[in-house]
Structure 1
Amino acid sequence: MDVQFVLSAFVTLFVIIDPLGMTPLFVALTRGASREARRSIALRSCFVAFLVLTLFAVLGDKILNYVGISMPAFRVAGGILLFLTALDMLFERRTKRREDQAGPSAADPTDDPSVFPLAIPLIAGPGALASMILLTGEHPGIEGLAVTLGVMMAVLALVFLLFLVSSLLERAMGQTGTNVVSRILGMLLAALSVQFVMDGLAAFGIAS
C-alpha cells in the first residue's frame, strides 16, 4: 500500500474529526458527570462512531443511493441536529436538567451525549462519513478498506485518550472558565451547524 495514501488518509480524518478540538467540547457536554460516567460516555461515543464509520466505509455509497439520500442532504440534516445541540449549550438546558435531579441514581437516561451529539454528528459527522466513502473508493478492495479502517481507528484512539484526560482540562479551567467555554463552543457549534446546512444547500444550487 502506498505510504502517501496512508498519510493522506490520516491527515484527512484527523483534520475532519479534530480530536484536539473535540476535547473541550466533550468537557462542555459532560459537565457535572463523574469520572466513571465520562469514561463510559467516551467509550460509547467512540465505539458508536467506529461502527458508523465502518458501515459507511463498507456500504456508505450503496446505502445512500439505495434510500435516495444524497450527501448534501445528509449534511443539511446533520447541521440541523447540531444546531439543536448548540441551543442546549447556549441556554444551559443540560445543566438545568441535571440540577433538577435528586442525585446520580436519578439521572435522566435520555440525557446522554455519547450517541448524539458526540458519536453522531460530531465524531462521525457528514465530513467524516463522506471521507470514509471517498478513501475506500480511492483504493478499492480489501487492502484499501483495511488501511482506511486502520487509520480511522488510530484517529478514534486519539479522540478516546483525549476524552479520558478531559477532567484535567475542566479542573484547569474552573467553573467560571467552563461556563465561558461552554457558551463560546455553543456559538461555534451554531456557526458550524449553519455552515453544514449552507454547504448542503450550495451543493443543491440553492445557496452559494
Structure 2
Amino acid sequence: MIDFVAVFIFFFSVIDPIGTVPVFMAVTSSYSEKAKRKIAVRAVLIAALILLFFVVVGEPMLKAIGIPLPAFEIAGGIVLFLFALTMIFGESKPEQEVKMISSETEAAVFPLAIPSIASPGAILAAVLQTENAKFSIVEQVQVTAMMLVVLAIVLVLLLSSTFVHRLIGSAGASLISRVMGLILSAVAVSSVLSGITTYFNL
C-alpha cells in the first residue's frame, strides 16, 4: 500500500495545477467560454496520455538502452532539483510559460499540455513512482490513480479558471508555485539519495 498523501503531494508539486491557471488564461484570453472548455479538456487529456505512456513504457525503454533505474533516479533527482530551483529563484511557472505562447491553434498542446501540465518533472515522477523493483502492480495502479486525481484537479481548476484567478491573482499563483518548488527540491534530494543507496547497495 502506497502513502497516498505523499504521492498526491509529490504529483501536485511537479504538475502544479494552480500555476497552470494563469498560463491557461493567457493562452485562451481571446477564446469564447465554449472554446476554453474544449482547450482545457484537450490539454489535460493529452497530458494524461503522455504521462500514462511513460508509466507503461518508461522503465522498459530505459532497460532497452541499458540504463539502470538507480542511475535514472539519480539523474532524475538532479533534474528535478534544478527544475525546483527555477521555480523558487527564477521566473515562476506562470511567468515563464506565458512567454511560450506562440500560436493559438497549438495552445492545448504547447504550452498547456507540454510543458505546463506534463512537465519534465511530472514525466520523471511517473517513471520513478512506478518502478517495478520497488512497487507491486497494485501499488503502481494506485500511484497512477493518484496522478490521474491530480490531473482531474487540473481540469477542474482550468474550467473554473476565471474564478480561481480572481480569488488568488497572478501573485498568489506565483507564490504557490514557489512553495511547490521548495517541496519538490526536498523530493529531488530524496530521489538522489535513494538512487545512490540502491546503486551502491548501501
**TM-score between both structures, scaled by the size of structure 1:** 0.64
Q: What's 2:18 paired with?
A: 27
Q: Which has the larger radius of gyration?
A: 1
- % identical equivalent positions: 24
Deviation at 1:89, TM superposition (A): 1.8
Note the alpha carbon deviations across 1:113-155, whole angstroms, 9 max, x for none. Answer: 1443364024x141x221587313xxxxxxxxxx677656644
Structure 1 window deviating more from structure 2 (42-51 vs 12-21): it is: 12-21
SS of residue in 2 equivalent to 1:129: coil
C-alpha distance 50-194 of structure 1, shift in aligned 2 (>3 A): same
Deviation at 1:93, TM superposition (A): 6.2
On the 8 A contact 1:49/1:120 being kept in 2, the answer is yes
2-structure distance, mates of 1:21, 1:106: 25
For the residue of structure 2 that corresponds to 1:69, the secondary structure is coil
Segments of 5+ residues of structure 1 without an aligned counterpart are: 1-7, 137-146
Supply the distance in 2 between the matched residues of 1:203 and 1:18 (Cα, whole angstroms). 24
- In structure 1, what is the Cα distance between the partners aligned to 2:76 and 2:110? 20
The answer as to 2:8 corresponding to 1:18 is: yes
Aligned equivalent of 1:80: 78
Aligned match of 1:173 in 168, 176, 197?
168
SS of 2:22's equivalent? coil
Return closer, same or farther for 1:16/1:72 CA change in 2, 3 Å cut-off. farther
User: Which residue number corresponds to residue 98 of structure 1?
Assistant: 98
Counterparts in 2 of 1:170 and 1:204: CA distance versus 1, 3 Å? farther
Whole-Å separation in 2 of the counterparts to 1:100 and 1:44: 18
CA RMSD of aligned residues (A): 3.8
Structure 2 segments unaligned to the other structure (5+ residues): 29-35
**18-27 vs 84-93, which moves further:** 18-27
| Cα distance change, pair 89–46 in 1 and its aligned pair in 2 (3 A) | same
Aligned residues: 180
CA contact (8 A) 2:80 2:121 kept: no
Question: Do the aligned partners of 1:28 and 1:182 also contact (CA within 8 Å) in 2?
Answer: yes
Superposition map of 1:122-161 within 5 A: 122=125, 124-126=126-128, 128-130=129-131, 134-136=135-137, 151=142, 154-161=145-152
Kept after mapping to 2: 8 A contact 1:75/1:197 = yes
